[in-house]
Every structure is written in structure tokens, then in C-alpha cells.
Amino acid sequence: MKIILAQQNYHIGNFDQNTAKIIEAIENAKQEGADLIVFSELCICGYPPRDFLEFNDFIERCYLAIDKIRTHADHIGVLVGSPSRNPKVEGKDLFNSAWLLYDQKIQDVVHKTLLPTYDVFDENRYFEASDDWHVMNFKGKKLAVTICEDIWNLGDNPLYRICPMDRLMAFQPDIMINLSASPFDYTHVEDRKAIIKANVKKYRLPVLYCNTVGSQTEIIFDGGSMAFDSSGNLIAEAAYFEEDWLSVNVNEDGTFQEAILKPNEEIPDQECTPLNYSPDLNIKEIHDAIILGIRDYFKKMGFSQAILGSSGGIDSAVTLALACKAIGAENVRAVLMPSQYSTSHSVQDAEQLSKTLANPYDIITIQSIYDSFMLQLQPIYKDLPFSLAEENIQARVRGNLLMAIANKFGLILLNTTNKSECATGYGTLYGDMAGGIAVLGDVYKMQVYALAKYINREKEIIPQNILDKAPSAELRPNQKDSDSLPDYRILDALLYQYIERRQGPSEIIEMGFDSNLVERTLKMVNASEYKRNQFCPIIRVSPKAFGVGRRLPIVAKYLG
Amino acid sequence: MKIILAQQNYHIGNFDQNTAKIIEAIENAKQEGADLIVFSELCICGYPPRDFLEFNDFIERCYLAIDKIRTHADHIGVLVGSPSRNPKVEGKDLFNSAWLLYDQKIQDVVHKTLLPTYDVFDENRYFEASDDWHVMNFKGKKLAVTICEDIWNLGDNPLYRICPMDRLMAFQPDIMINLSASPFDYTHVEDRKAIIKANVKKYRLPVLYCNTVGSQTEIIFDGGSMAFDSSGNLIAEAAYFEEDWLSVNVNEDGTFQEAILKPNEEIPDQECTPLNYSPDLNIKEIHDAIILGIRDYFKKMGFSQAILGSSGGIDSAVTLALACKAIGAENVRAVLMPSQYSTSHSVQDAEQLSKTLANPYDIITIQSIYDSFMLQLQPIYKDLPFSLAEENIQARVRGNLLMAIANKFGLILLNTTNKSECATGYGTLYGDMAGGIAVLGDVYKMQVYALAKYINREKEIIPQNILDKAPSAELRPNQKDSDSLPDYRILDALLYQYIERRQGPSEIIEMGFDSNLVERTLKMVNASEYKRNQFCPIIRVSPKAFGVGRRLPIVAKYLG
């Protein structure tokens, strides 16, 4: 039996485009003489559709798309993911389902059992869990079809009480097929392979795993669809961070006709989140994920050009380099906005960077606008000393200028804030926190340096001077980040324990961090929740990014 | 048996304050000779604690608080709500529980079964549902203790498959006690009473219902704790929108010694969300909810003073009047920021309003700052015609000025955007969309007028001219909202169908709305998701507010 896994990039709610893409793949698969083609979880509507699922109209369009695709599923079997209505009154209205189309008919539908409801996932908000398990019969084979999370509980995953594959084994299936929408994060590059391997080991069945690819606002799906034979050999593996297509032939005995990519190798069972912060870990994957994140954000929003403030600092330099790579240097407009507090090398470094990247840039000084603000505020400010308020005015003048150019020419403002700043609230709302998407908002400062080194791995794109100088916001004379923040190496490691690993103050202090520093830092994080609440979406590369996957109350008083 | 319901206002994560409050009530209840005192759902940590629940340290503090309260529960029984750890490996780590403390011991713990996971609720994210039902034995009585949502499924609530009270009836309980954290919205003022009544009718038991009160960022809990006897008579009802205390005596036969407040009255079974928009519905309750929302936001954030832009329009006028009532006129600083496009009556009306309210105000003209922006942008803008970009610059200059004063003097900026603007994206990010909390963000434009009339019910506080003139942003000569938006009466009614009732385009057109208008409006709503994503928290008064309870993908293409 020839089976194809179609690893595609969908656009949420764009039924015309998604359906056309699926139909094109079906037609190509027919040309290849495939028996079955498999698509990813909720491919019909794109994942995650969120509250669109609450609109009857949206569900209706899913059904219409299925109906259209069905007519193409003549001599080929088609497995697609789409919501289905729950016929029972009790429970949620929908299931998250896999539909088997064949002979131009809906042959069978199975539902997802394990509904992730943590971090960025809200599936219990919409879906009822399956309580009816059966295999799908197709061309004399019994397919154990599951959806994403369903294969992540092998009896030791403490989140769930049911193991769907255990139920399906009662029907003696011939092959496991999983439709996924499994997002990337840099800590589990090998996790997915490990869990699939563990399934093979437990059930002694070949596994075909079809993942989606592409970025949906903040969430990156990295692809990497794969096929394992029942002995645990990796037979085929699709590309990461791009669309791809796997074609495999399954023999009668469950072996594959294809060459073994990787013979039954040991894949270490990783901790989901490593115990300690290491800024260089999987930096290539982080780089590739961000590139995809930027590219898809623009494509799916219908924009082609970006703008950003280029300060001569490391964050804007890395953001600029990534943006140029993602959407083309000619489409990224950098604006240098020095003030009286900017050092001359800042402008030089920023200019040098844009010359190397060959992206357009402008220089606008902000002094005169700042002065006009101060003049109007004089009757209110009177003789009060220079404070954070004046620093914020400068940052907001820059934000206003960037938005003014963005609005005039239809550009999207890229935000350059890094995760360390975002965590501690070291940024100005409506100033440097403005933007359509935050490129580095899930990347700690030391990881930004690692990214810069990775970008410079073959030739110097980011001027070495930018990597060498001490970080500064340049909002008052001789300002350094280290005036207000601890050393980033210590700060990042501490934040990692609190954000990624959800350790409390006493646990972090036990690791050897200074207790005053811990108290002060956790207080900064919790007290700046109101700022992050108004922040733009952040391209997610870690297991715990700020944004939709981390939900904290604002008017709280905990560790603050 | 004398039972007290303590309707209190908690602060999330503020264990010291919450514990002290609970202990004080216990001591007062002892003075009154009570047998049992009942508190609300998750009162120990405040509701909703959100992802703080993922911190072991946070849960540890809940246990420590219980341990402290336990020592005060000597000759009085105490029922408190707090998370408890799930001893089983399978399933989520926590239960949402009610703890019975008595004789200085933990006597019993029961867990919540129905975990709301919709709108603003995320309980499945944190909690495992109970699968073990029993009554609590206390002083010879069998108490059927449930938590909030548990009593909302009487077999016909299509969200759930279990009816917890049906299970508890097997133990022949004497009395029902429910610990709640049930939020306000203007469409179900009577809903709660109706559902409790329906429970009484079905189970023929007296019901004691203890709700929390107070605002947690965006969610308003309105109190209204109550007691029904087994015949359906309302015996006692606590205040709404404030802390209160109910003390009742239950006789051996389940009747109460107290007077009947309302004899077995028919409470109509309401539609959760009325079919049609009516801007005057329950406007007093909306008013009271917003006042509480503002007051608690300041109190719980540790701030006492506010600032807002006062334009002479209806939205800022109503916001200002509400803020003055909530935190005192002397604590609300209005800033009038006319430009060359402002009409003279705007400033007059705004001044008149502040004179009536007796709140401080400043006037700052923005022309010179705007000019300094245009001068710096000239090399980039060149001779391009005046457009939305220039309008946005003005709005952002105002935002910057307000934040500059707020930052200098430690004030919180109140946002004045209404729900109709918020829905259609008729506002400038970082400009008039700036602020710490949106006072009217869940109130459609016609409801804002209704609020203005309510505020003026006894004397003219908001100048009649502000109610009479056509709405305008005054960002270009002779601008009117009606240049870009349909008549608010039609727009609001249309938005209500899409937002509150989740009707799709064809369903809305069938109701008689113009099909072009429907298409254009839904497109505006969906296309401005990225703006709302960066908007501040909105005080929630409707069954579907923008913000945490409405989750839409940004890079989607649905009806857009």
C-alpha cells in the first residue's frame, strides 16, 4: 500500500486556499499511484482556529470543504483533519476529528481523545473528548488513526487518565497513523521522535506521522513528518520549517519498501524542559523558526514590507538581519532615530549594518520633537528633575515616528524587544514595545548574542562592535542596562527558572541564586504583567513564551 | 443550625490579606454563635488565579493558609474554597476544592466536578474533575457541598455529561451549600436566582449560595449571595457589588427561622443572551459594575489617582463621570488636548464637565508638537496627501502626553474607547487605545448614551450638548464618525449579533440587515483583531467582552 504524508502550511479560516491546496495534493498523489494520502490535524480550517469554532457558519464551511474534497477522493483514500459536530446534547458541541474519504464517500470519522489544555492549547474549550474507539478499515487493512496528543500518553504522561492506543489495540490494527498539529519549541527538537519511537516499541506497529508546518501568528509548526517501521527503524523524514511530501510503500507484513534512514537508534528520553538555561542550545533551529515566523506573519497578514527602529544595539541588529533574510532586504526599512543621548558609534554601527545587509534606511533625529513635548509639558512638569517619564517620552516619540512611516506606506512595525526585557518590564509601552510582531520576544538576551554569532557564522553581517559593546537604552547620559538590571548571564538563568520551569523563590534560591536578586527579579516580572498584556504577539520558540501560553492575572499580589 | 455566608472581596495571590479577612469573619461569626461559616470558591488565593496555579510555591501557600485558618475553626465549622493536590498520577495535578474545617482539623474535602472552560474560564487548564461524590457530615447534618458550576447542570445544560447533585442525592443530604465565584454580566441579572430556584424545585432541599464580590482586572463578581428554603422561598439575599454577610438559622426540618423575603415566586427562565440588542437593558447594573471595576482596579494595583483625555465627546465624558464617582473627583485628572481640528465647543463642553464634577484639569494644545513631527517626517512624507497617518500622529501625540503626565506623577491612564469602536478598529493603537484599563470597552455606543442619561438622571452632570452633538474624532476638518461608520443604532445591533450571539453573515442578513453592511462590518471586526490584541483589559459587563474571554487568531482570513 502506497501512502503519502502531505506536510502543508495552512491559513486559518482561509477555506478556499486550504481546500485548493489539499485537492492539489490529492491529484498529485493520484498521479503517483498512491492508495492513501494523509493530511494534518484540522487542516481544513487551519490550526488553531480558536473561537471561530464557536461560529456555526465556520463549522458549516468546514463541512462544505469536506464535501468538495470528497469528490476528489475517488480511487484514493484521503485522511483529513476537521471539526465534526457532536450529535449528543451532553458535552461540548464539537469533536476534533479525522475523516476518511474514499470512493467519493465519507467512510469513517474518528475523534481525538486527549485534548491538550495547557500552555497555548485550549482544546477543552471547544471539543468533547472521544469515548468511542475503533479502527478504520481501508483496503483490507485496519488503521489505528489518532490525532496529535492521542499518542503522547503511554501510561506515564500524568496529564491524562486514558491511553487511546491501548483501546485501539483491542481491534488488532495493522498500522498507526497520526494527524498532528504539533508546535516547535527549542527544548524538544528530539522529543517528538522519542515519543513516536516509544509508541513503536510499545505497540510493535509501523507509525505514519503527519505534522503541519507554518506559523500561525505566534505558534510555529515545524513539520518533520515521519515514518517508522514496526522494528523502530526511521524510514522517512520530511523537512523541517517548510512544506514537504513523504511517499512510502507499506508491505503486507508492515515493513516498508524504502531504505532505512536511521536504523533502530536509541533516542534519549528528554526532560521536556532542561533543568538549566543554556543560551546556545539548538540556536540553528531557533533561527530557522523565527525566519518562518516572520515570513508567514507577513504572508498571512497580506503584507510585504517591514519597518523597524535600528539603534545600533544587538536586539535591533539581530531583528533586522532576521527580517532581511525572511522577507528580503529591499522590503525592510530601518529607521535610525538618534537623540542627544545617543553615542556616535550607535549611528555608525546601525548604518554599517544596513550597508552590509543592503536594506533601505533613514535617519531622523528626535531632539526637536522631544523639545516640543517638553515645552508643552513645562507648565505641568515645572522644575521636577529628569526621570523615567522623560526617558519614556523619547521612546514614545520613536514609536510614534515608526508608526507614522508604517501607516503612511503600509509597512508592519517589527518589535525588537528581547525576552529578558519583556520579563522584567524593561521597555516603554507604546514606545519600544510597539509593533505588529515581536521577533525576539521569546529569546533571552544571551540567546540574542548566540543568534548574532550564528548569523555571523560565515561572514560578519552584524558589526562586531555591536556584539562587543555594553547594552544600553541610551535614554539618558551614559546609561547602561546594568544600571537597572543584573548581569544578563545571571538574569537570564534566573528568569529561565521562574518562567520556563515555574520554580518559586525558595526553589530558585536553593539553586544558589542570591536571595535579594531573586526577590527583586520575581517582583519585576510580576509587576510588569500589565505591560506584557498590551504587548504584540511574540514568535514562540521556547516551551513557555509570554503571550497566549502564559496567563497571569494583572491585579494580583503574588511575589510582588 | 446557624449558618453564615461571608461574601468577601479577595485579592489574587495576596494570601496575607485574604487569610486575615477570612479569620476576621470567623471570629465575628463565633461572636454571633454561628455553627458554620461559608466562604466562596477559591477564596484562599482569589479567583481566578490563572497560571499561578502552576507554581508549586503558590499551592504551598494555599495549604499554609488553610493550616492557619484551621486553628481558628474550633467550635465553628468553616467551609473555604482552595485548590487541593490530586494524589493520583493520572490527570491534572489539582482539584478545585471545598474544605471543611472544624475542631481545628481538616474534616473533609470535596472537589468540583463541572469545570467551566469557555469565555473567561480556563478551569480544565488546571483542574481535574471530581469523580468521587459524597456528602459532608457536620453536626448530625449531611451537607451536599458543591462548587459554582456544579449546580448549573440540571440535565439540560448541554456543556456537560454529569449532574453532580444527582450523584449527591444518593446520600440523602439535608441541605445544599454552594461556594461560588460567579461573575456578573448584564444579561443574566436574574439567571443565577433562576438556576438556584430550579435546583430547589428539583431536589426539594434548602440551598445556601455564597458568591464572591469584587473585580479582578476585567472580571466583575457581583455578590448577591442567597438562601432559599426547600419550598422555594427566598429567605435572605446579600447586597450586590459590595461585601456583605448573611446569617440564617436552619430548623431541623430544613425550614428557616428568618422571614421570607420573597415567597415562592416564578423566576422566568431567561435566554442566556437575549436575541436582540437593547441598549437600555439593566443600565443601572452596568453602571454599578463599572464603578466597582474601576475602584477595585486602582485599589488592587495599589494606585489612587487617574488621568484621562477629555475631548468633549460622550465617551470621555461618561468615563470621567464614572471615574470621579469610583475614586473621587479630586483623584481624576482630565487633560484637554485640542488641535487645529477641534471645534471650540469641544473644549467648552469638556471644561464645563470638569467644573461640574470638580475634578482637576489641564489644557495642552498639540499643534506645535504635531508640527514638529511633520517637520521631521517631511523628507520621508514629501508631498503625499493628508491621510490616516496624520490622524494617527495626532492621536499618538495625545497618548504620549497623557502617559508623560501619568508617568511623572504616578497616575493610571483610563482608556475611553467604547465597544463599537473597539469592534470596528476605529481607534489608534498607542494613541486613543492607550491606557491601563478600558472603562467602556464592553459598552456599545448606544449603551454609552444610556449610561450618560443614567448619570444625569437626577441633575445634569454631563452637559446636554455632549449628548446631543454628532460623534466625531476631530482628527481632520469637519470629521464625523458617520463618515467611516454606519449609524450606531444599526452598527451596535449588528455587532451584537456577531459578537455576543456568534451569528454568521447569512444569519445576520436573514434578520434584515443590509448584506453589504454586514460584509463590511464583519470584515472590519476580523481585520482589527491585531489591534484588540494589544488593547488593555476591558471591564467586562456583557456575556462576551473583548479580551480574555474572546480568543481569535490574528493571522486568519475568515470573513475578511
**pLDDT per position as a tens digit, B480-495:** 888 888 899 999 999 9
Could A14 and B556 be called an inter-chain contact, meaning their C-beta atoms sit closer than 8 Å? yes
pLDDT surpassing 60 at residue B271: no
Looking at the complex, report in whole angstroms how far the Cα of residue A179 sits from the nearest Cα belonging to chain B: 21
User: What is the rounded CA–CA span in Å between residue A408 and residue A401?
Assistant: 11
Size of interface A-B (CB pairs under 8 A): 282
**Does the structure show a pLDDT above 60 at B226?**
yes
Of B50, B118, B366, which has the smallest distance from its Cβ to A552's Cβ? Answer: B50
Residues of B in contact with A407 (CB under 8 A): 387-389, 392
Cis peptide before A338 (omega within 30 of 0): no
Residue A156 is predicted with a pLDDT of 65
Per-residue pLDDT at A361: 98
B553/A379 touch (CB, cutoff 8 Å), yes or no: no
pLDDT the model gives residue B157: 62
Per-10-residue mean pLDDT for chain A, 560 residues long?
98 98 98 98 98 97 98 98 94 97 98 97 97 96 97 77 94 98 89 90 96 97 96 96 97 90 80 86 97 98 97 97 98 96 89 98 97 98 96 97 98 98 97 98 98 98 94 84 87 97 96 96 96 98 97 91
Taking the CA of residue B362 and the nearest CA in chain A, the distance in Å comes to 8
SS3 at position B36: strand
What is the predicted pLDDT for the residue at A155? 62
- For residue range A504-547, list pLDDT tens digits in order: 999 999 999 999 999 999 999 999 999 999 999 999 999 999 99
Question: From the list B49, B296, B405, which residue is nearest A553 (CB)?
Answer: B49
User: Looking at residue A480, what is its pLDDT?
Assistant: 85
Count of other CB atoms within 10 angstroms of residue B431: 23
CA B186 to chain centre: 10
Catalytic residue among A21, A112, A300, A445: A112
Instruction: Classify strands A207-210 and B226-228 as parallel, antiparallel or unpaired.
Output: unpaired
Contact B50 A429 (CB under 8 A): no
Nearest CB to B217; choose among A89, A216, A555 = A555
Tell me the C-alpha distance between A173 and A5, whole Å: 19
Q: How far apart are CA B475 and CA B463, in angstroms?
A: 22
Identify the pLDDT of residue B156: 65
**How confident is the model over B325-339, as a mean pLDDT?**
97
Q: Which residues of A touch B368 (CB under 8 A)?
A: 372, 375-376
ipTM above 0.85 for this complex: yes
**What is the average per-residue pLDDT within B165-171?**
96
- b (16+ CB within 10 A) / e for A387-402: eebbbbbbbbbbbbbb
Q: Which residues contact B360 (CB under 8 A, 6 or more apart)?
A: B330, B332, B333, B334, B354
B158–A93: do the CB atoms touch at under 8 Å?
yes
Chain A contact set for B397 (CB, 8 A): 400
Q: What pLDDT is stored for residue A270 in this prediction?
A: 62
Determine the straight-line distance between the first and last CA of chain A, rounded to whole angstroms: 61
Q: Per the residue annotation, which of B43, B45, B62, B148 is the catalytic one?
A: B148
State the pLDDT at residue A260: 92
The reply to whether B148 belongs to the active site is: yes
Range B383-401 average pLDDT: 97
Q: What is the pLDDT of residue B159?
A: 83
pLDDT at A157: 62
Beta pairing partners, A94: A85, A127
Tell me whether residue B41 is one of the annotated catalytic residues: yes
How many CB atoms are closer than 10 A to CB A490?
14
What lies within 8 Å, CB to CB, of A504 at 6+ separation is A559, B55, B56, B57, B58, B60
CA dihedral B547, B552, B556, B558 (to 10 degrees): -110
For B351, B352, B355, the CA distances from B466, given in Å and listed in that order, are 12, 10, 15
Residue A272: its pLDDT value, please? Answer: 73
- d(CA A347, CA B33) in angstroms, rounded, equals 75
> Tens of pLDDT along A411-442?
999 999 999 999 999 999 999 999 999 999 99
Question: What's the mean pLDDT when you consider all of chain B?
Answer: 95
**CATH code for the domain defined by B283-532:** 3.40.50.620
Residue A253: its pLDDT value, please?
86
Nearest-CA neighbor of B187 among B431, B538, B521, B499?
Answer: B499
Coil, helix or strand at residue A362: strand
Q: Taking CB atoms and an 8 Å limit, are A90 and B158 in contact across chains? A: yes
Q: Cell numbers at residue B538, please? A: 476591558
Amino acid A500: pLDDT? 97
Segments making up each domain of chain A, as ranges: 2-249, 283-482+528-532
- Residue B480 falls in the annotated catalytic set: no
The pLDDT score that the predictor gives to residue B482 is: 84
Name the strands in the sheet holding A244-249, side by side, starting at the edge strand that comes first in the sequence: A105-111, A94-102, A77-85, A36-38, A2-7, A244-249
Protein fold of A283-482+528-532: Rossmann fold (3.40.50)
CB contact under 8 A, B405 and A380: yes
Task: Give the model's pLDDT for residue B269.
Answer: 66
Tell me, what's the pLDDT at B268?
A: 72
CATH superfamily of the domain spanning A2-249: Carbon-nitrogen hydrolase (3.60.110.10)
Q: What is the mean pLDDT of residues B263-267?
A: 84
Once rounded to an integer, what is the mean pLDDT over residues B215-243? Answer: 96
CB contacts of A559 in chain B (<8 Å) are 13
